[in-house]
Amino acid sequence: MTEIVSPYRKSSYSAQEGNCVEVAATANGGRAVRDSKDQSGPALSFSPTEWTAFLAGMRNGEFTD
């Protein structure tokens, strides 16, 4: 399992309904992502390269309808 080195954070844009993800930094410089409704459930781990690619995709609109 990837070592989490920071607290999980939820976006300030998140509504109070709880349909959110939370993100935390990992020891290798990547990120872990989990469902805010199931904090003891599984988390997805991303390497620094994968996380950077995801952020670039978000900025470029790759995930919009």
Domain boundaries along the sequence of the chain: 9-57
pLDDT at 49: 97
φ/ψ of 42, rounded to 5, equals -70, 155
pLDDT at 62: 94
pLDDT tens per residue, range 2-50: 799 999 998 877 766 667 889 999 999 999 999 988 889 999 999 999 9
Burial class of 32 by CB neighbour count within 10 A (0 to 12, 13 to 18, 19+):
buried
Confidence of residue 52 (pLDDT cuts 50, 70, 90): very high
Place of tokens 């935390």: 24
pLDDT at 64: 84
What pTM, to 2 d.p., does this model score?
0.81
